[in-house]
Structure 1
Amino acid sequence: MNALRLAWILCWFLSGVAVAAPLKIYGMESAPISFLSSGQPDGFAVELARAIQTRLGQHDAIEIVPWARANTLAVAAPGVMLLSIVRTAERARTMHFVGPIFNTRVTAFASKGKAAEWRQRQVDLRTLRGGARRGSIFVTLPREQGYQIVDETNTSETAAKMLMNGRFDLWFDGEELYVDALRLAGFRDSDVEVAFRLDLVGVHFAFSNGTSADIIRDWAQALRAMKRDGSFLKIYRKWLAPHQMPADVALQH
């Protein structure tokens, strides 16, 4: 760093003007919520986040990375934002949530025809082998309710492949995610069926501990304003089904 640049930076600090650190924003490959399209981030949460950035005059980059990496960064460092995550009591100890931005139904999928076979045989579904994306609510919630998660995968696409290849019997995921996961895995949505549904849970933006309280407040205020003025609804309808709409939007429109 040359002397002139160093002197300029020192002048900023000595004058009491804070230099805002960039916000590191991460989504995962999980269409239609966040994904790469022609090498660029796209999806519902991406478009919503960019609309909020425009309102706030912010331009921080959005990256699509593996879920495990994003989650690790959010736990370890301040100034990290995750585009879509379910709020839980455990996560609330290390993150601050803004939302909800949509609801997801934790759903168990099976290969076509399996559910009828299990009903006929009176199979206890909690004895079946299950699989889901590692570190997600689709692992933790079924386990809390007594279902057997024997495999955790890096992506929903891998989970879809493992279900269709008979590696496990039940694939737990969100109903907004399974169609694209199957397509990427080389299958059709008609190749699977809903075996049963568990809870409907809210999905939020999440900020790591130590992130500026002003940043979190500004994002929360901007999201509330978008829900009131209809701009949230316009983006939402482009990507998701009506039954996944947050209650505070549905009540206003």
Structure 2
Amino acid sequence: MGVVRTILAVVACSWAALSAAQLRLYTEEYRPLSYSEKGVLSGMTVEVVELLIQRTGQPAHIELVPWTRGYRQAQREANVGLFPTVRTPQRERNFQWIGPIAAGQTNFYSRVGAGLRIRNLADVERLDGVLAVPKLWYSYEVLREQGLRNLYGVPTPQHMIKMFKHGRVQLILANSLALDEMLAGQGMTRDQVEQQYTLMTNNTYIAFSLNTDAALVERWRQALNEMKRDGSLERIHRRWFAHASDEELAQALRVE
């Protein structure tokens, strides 16, 4: 009995230590998934993460930071998570992944009436001029690895949309979930653009550092799976993305 008590005490202490460890969760300004409004964090993925904190009982602090800082910290330190993070083969080994928590498509869009028909990356390369894509985006990584010759890195999505608005580029590349907010930043709307070629389906996750305790990460995974089973995640997703397709919603609700 003494041995059993000792084992139970060790297990209890381990769980207590996990619960006591405060997670630092980093997010970026990426409407409508995550953003700050008058000093208050909001967004679809922020709402999901806040509910996960509540359900796991895990002490955690969410901080809005530039993407480069959050990405760097989430690769180096323990008890750190980064969201929303698109899971790609290039990033796979760098994190422990929880999700998906949202799903969309990365599409090329042209101006309505521009007369373009983009069916593949070869068509993108044949365009006059460059394809401007933010350097920090996963899609920039993907296109660079595929050797797209007219790829041009810009600092932010706002730079890309501004170039598009003023006719300096013929296409933009955008996540279908964030398209409306990106266009609104330059006074444009979805009905002014036409979807062309889909580069990839993008599933959005919470990315925990490799140094974060695996048992803690598993608690978050189970809590998210329960949100998918009881309909909580679906209700949040539908409220923020009424235009999302059935396919996108099914991807977001997939249990891993």
TM-score tier by shorter-chain length is 0.7 to 0.9
* Residue equivalent to 1:160: 161
Contact 2:161 2:172 in 1 (8 A): yes
- Amino acid corresponding to residue 82 of structure 2 in structure 1: L
Per-residue CA deviation, residues 165-214 of structure 1 (Å, 9 max, x unaligned), is 23333211101111111112232333332232222132211101201112
SS in 1 for 2:103: strand
Using the TM superposition, give the Cα deviation of residue 117 of structure 1 relative to its aligned residue in structure 2, in angstroms. 4.7
Using the TM superposition, give the Cα deviation of residue 118 of structure 1 relative to its aligned residue in structure 2, in angstroms. 6.0
* Residue equivalent to 1:124: 123
- Give the fraction of aligned pairs with identical amino acids, expressed as a percent: 29
Cα distance, 1:202–1:118 mapped onto 2, change above 3 Å = closer
In structure 1, C-alpha distance between the alignment counterparts of 2:88 and 2:198, rounded to whole Å = 19
Using the TM superposition, give the Cα deviation of residue 217 of structure 1 relative to its aligned residue in structure 2, in angstroms. 0.7
Using the TM superposition, give the Cα deviation of residue 105 of structure 1 relative to its aligned residue in structure 2, in angstroms. 0.7
Query: Is 1:45 the counterpart of 2:45 in the alignment?
Result: yes
1:227-246 aligned within 5 A: 227-240=228-241, 241-243=244-246, 244-246=248-250
In structure 2, C-alpha distance between the alignment counterparts of 1:169 and 1:228, rounded to whole Å = 42
In structure 2, C-alpha distance between the alignment counterparts of 1:187 and 1:224, rounded to whole Å = 37
- Amino acid corresponding to residue 163 of structure 1 in structure 2: F
SS in 2 for 1:124: helix
- Amino acid corresponding to residue 126 of structure 2 in structure 1: T
* Unaligned residue ranges in structure 1 (runs of 5+): 1-14
- Amino acid corresponding to residue 126 of structure 1 in structure 2: E
1:173-252 aligned within 5 A: 173-240=174-241, 241-243=244-246, 244-247=248-251, 249=253
Using the TM superposition, give the Cα deviation of residue 125 of structure 1 relative to its aligned residue in structure 2, in angstroms. 2.2
SS in 1 for 2:162: helix
Contact 1:98 1:205 in 2 (8 A): yes
TM superposition score normalised by structure 2: 0.80
Contact 1:132 1:173 in 2 (8 A): no
Cα distance, 1:80–1:127 mapped onto 2, change above 3 Å = farther
Contact 2:98 2:217 in 1 (8 A): yes
* Corresponding residue pairs, total: 232
In structure 1, C-alpha distance between the alignment counterparts of 2:86 and 2:164, rounded to whole Å = 24
* Residue equivalent to 1:141: 142
Contact 1:161 1:182 in 2 (8 A): no
Using the TM superposition, give the Cα deviation of residue 146 of structure 1 relative to its aligned residue in structure 2, in angstroms. 5.1
In structure 1, C-alpha distance between the alignment counterparts of 2:147 and 2:197, rounded to whole Å = 14
**Which deviates more from structure 2 when the two are superposed, residues 127-136 or residues 42-51?**
127-136
* Unaligned residue ranges in structure 2 (runs of 5+): 1-12
1:16-165 aligned within 5 A: 18=17, 20-114=20-114, 116-117=115-116, 124-128=123-127, 129-145=130-146, 147=148, 148-154=150-156, 156-165=157-166
- Amino acid corresponding to residue 132 of structure 2 in structure 1: G
In structure 2, C-alpha distance between the alignment counterparts of 1:229 and 1:57, rounded to whole Å = 18
Using the TM superposition, give the Cα deviation of residue 47 of structure 1 relative to its aligned residue in structure 2, in angstroms. 0.4
Using the TM superposition, give the Cα deviation of residue 234 of structure 1 relative to its aligned residue in structure 2, in angstroms. 1.5
Cα distance, 1:91–1:250 mapped onto 2, change above 3 Å = closer
Alignment RMSD, CA only? 2.6
